[in-house]
A and B are shown apart, each in its own frame.
Chain A
């Protein structure tokens, strides 16, 4: 009896320890993996495969969304379509467009493994991110704002001191508030709570679980359209330049991407897109000064 018990125990122990060893090995395996096509210019990849895989957002209006008929649309998606046209023209007109829905979590792995050749979304440029991917010239500029209930005592950014402020998960708002709290911008630290999507943040605001919801200004205009319920407080704490993502080492491809954005800005197409998604055709957000400057800077002479 005694012997059997100790035998069973050591057998259990052995299988238990080997389970751990296998797990560790499995975890380290992906670190040996290399990008599928490192070194190949994306333009050459598109040429040889005949397909241009465009990463677009499915649920990030007005930048990218799926409309009622199931078609991908949006400000950044439409810029992606213009880039497809330019690439298709460059390569002789036989290239197929393939739209792939991406999220803020999947965009980088998919770009790295070649599943998408371009991410046409609303990605903010940061120095840290520039170590991993290449950026196009900026296609949009925005800033972080605050949405509060119409009855809220928060009138200016400084009133956020000590309050509970919701932010979107996976955005750069967390870093913005962290830096401001460390620098003592507010008289008492702002507590941030990250929500998986904007609608949950707005629900939390309506139920009184948070005092404000902070995000990209156009998104707040979109979710907070009802002025009898909501008010937008400008924070004036940052400027976020947004970019399309390109695989590193693809200068031929990146050149077409940049030229397309410059052409859209120079020909007035950019402002038409703005009006369609943000302005008259959307939620009537006036074109900010920074946006006008961006268009001027991107309007390269022929």
Chain B
């Protein structure tokens, strides 16, 4: 069909813009998320790009290169709106509210030929719908990216690799371990092993609520990689309920040393390095000097 829409939008751009922004403002009510002037300028930019893409006659909004500028614009807009705290509905309303002014224009234009009017309205609505859906998806993607970033930040904060002693590292893991993030944590452990030339790494999973096959697989891979670099791993913080599920899952931790607490693991690590912890007080007591000394204040 040879739609008149492109010509009409070009000719009446100013009027459509006016009506559109009026609609949006009344639908949004009072908002402090965006100023009226911002909204106007965004609408104007969009309508201008829309008008240009329309002239191509191509209606495949999602794929064609003629609509690429609009897709970029909407992606950016959705991302900004998501971070400004707009809901998906509010964001999509930006596009969907364009329907009315377009239809109103078409109606005045084709008053005398209802068949053409119907066709034009259908085509126009389809176009706006496609753009609206695209916006919603872009918004969703924006949210996911935002959440993903926050998760990564949290992960970095919550999984420090700590040097406990010369040659002994500890990695207290906290929170949910899922593929991508676990990968990062494990890689940073391996990196630290190289940097510090450590011989023993303690992976503490006290703060990990669920150990399933995927988590186990990551643990096993890390231990194997650490071994190749000459470091032994100890897994600590295996609580009784986790031990049971590991058994039910038939996960074979093989020759990995496991301990219930980080303290136990540290003792094993010291032992492996030929180090000993001894109490100062006991030593002095053995030497029979305890009465001569004031009690130690820690």
- The answer to whether A and B belong to the same complex is no
On A, residues with C-beta under 8 Å from B are none
On B, residues with C-beta under 8 Å from A are none
